[in-house]
């Protein structure tokens, strides 16, 4: 713990301690400490004055806070010294375990890895292979094998792609993607495509990236995007929420209308399911229908001439419409609904 770190911790501790209400349980009468006590119900009484013995309470002072911090500092210093001593002993112990291997020619990082408990076969397989010798023993790829982060065979494979894809190598070492994912990406056709690999590591969909970059891949071998579909949809929804200005449909048409009038209106535009509605449901359904028609016609859109689009509009509005109804009949229903909702005049809709 550094001096700077302790100063911050000390202030926090002092702020928490000073002014805290402390209650001390009292078992004797302060005026008659030698007279003894007895119980009456749940109360403790003094035999000398027959008064209830109350617990003492009060707030801690700044002076008590300073004394408390002093004791914390003493204990922290002692604990830190103990930890440092233990670390030095452990380091000496590891060096002692590694020294016999160093003495017979094993490089120190390899010997230390064995002493720390890394799988001996991985360490020795790396030492006996030729591929690692192009690197310094302190290189991140070599150290990752020596500290057990990846196996020697995984390190050997990463060495084959590292020259073109350093970012992929580091992502595997840091656990940002799995080795299986990286191997599938390379095998599917991404090897040598540096920009495409970076895009995939950033969460892009591999198949879409390959299509944009116009290079051939084996689709069956492609791994999934690192960003899963659920997280992608959430991010897209958040982005849309933050960048899209939502148009609020004015609801002045409904001001002053009572429940009977709304019920009559729902019947006129033939809203589906209204027989079981309560007052609030009538209001919400009517506003939904108004909103659906308003949004469709507000920018000068004309009456749909396609049956599918007419049925979709009716479905959004919650009004009746079936495939057996002719286009002309559906258009007539929509027009009547617009008239009942006052939207023909409001939006200046031309038939």
- pLDDT tens string 263-292: 999 899 999 888 889 988 988 899 888 888
Cβ–Cβ under 8 Å, residues 225 and 203:
yes
Average pLDDT for 172-189: 93
Torsion of CA 310, 316, 317, 320, to 10 degrees: 60
Whether the per-residue pLDDT at 196 is higher than 50: the answer is: yes
CA angle 57, 61, 64 (to 5 degrees): 105
Least confident residue range of 68-82, 162-176, 285-299, 320-334: 68-82
Cβ–Cβ under 8 Å, residues 173 and 151:
no
Domain map (residue ranges) of the chain:
3-85, 174-246, 252-347
Least confident residue range of 103-107, 165-169, 188-192: 103-107
* C-alpha distance from residue 157 to each of 118, 132, 174 (Å): 19, 11, 16
For residues 204 and 213, give the distance between their C-alpha atoms in angstroms, rounded to a whole number.
12
């Amino acid at each position: 713990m550094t001096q700077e770190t302790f100063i911050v911790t000390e202030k926090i501790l002092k702020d928490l301690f000073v002014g805290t209400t402390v209650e001390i349980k009292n078992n004797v009468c302060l005026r008659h400490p030698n007279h003894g006590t007895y119980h009456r119900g749940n109360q403790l009484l003094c035999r000398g004055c027959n008064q209830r013995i109350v617990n003492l309470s009060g707030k801690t002072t700044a002076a008590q806070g300073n004394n408390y911090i002093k004791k914390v500092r003493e204990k922290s210093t002692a604990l830190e010294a103990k930890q440092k001593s233990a670390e030095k002993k452990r380091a000496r112990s590891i060096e002692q375990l590694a020294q016999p291997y160093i003495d017979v020619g094993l490089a120190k990082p390899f010997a230390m890895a064995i002493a720390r408990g890394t799988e001996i076969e991985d360490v020795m397989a790396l030492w006996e292979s030729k591929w690692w010798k192009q690197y310094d023993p302190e290189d991140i790829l070599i150290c990752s094998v020596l500290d057990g982060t990846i196996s020697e065979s995984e390190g050997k494979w990463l060495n084959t792609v590292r020259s073109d894809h350093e970012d992929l190598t580091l992502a595997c070492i840091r656990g940002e993607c799995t080795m299986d994912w990286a191997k599938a990406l390379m095998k599917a056709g991404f090897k040598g495509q540096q920009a495409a690999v970076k895009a995939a590591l950033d969460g892009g969909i591999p198949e879409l990236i390959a299509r944009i970059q116009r290079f051939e891949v084996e689709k069956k071998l492609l791994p999934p995007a690192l960003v899963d579909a659920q997280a992608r949809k959430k991010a897209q929804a958040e982005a849309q929420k933050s960048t899209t200005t939502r148009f609020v449909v004015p609801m002045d048409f409904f001001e002053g209308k009572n429940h009977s009038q709304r019920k009559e209106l729902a019947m006129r535009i033939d809203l589906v399911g209204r027989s079981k509605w309560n007052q609030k449901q009538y209001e919400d359904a009517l506003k939904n229908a108004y909103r659906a028609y308003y949004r469709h016609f507000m920018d000068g859109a004309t009456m749909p001439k396609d049956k599918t689009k007419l049925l979709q509009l009716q479905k959004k509005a919650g009004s009746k419409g079936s495939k057996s109804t002719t286009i002309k009949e559906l258009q007539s229903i929509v027009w009547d609904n617009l008239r009942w909702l006052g939207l023909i005049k409001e939006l200046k809709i031309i038939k």
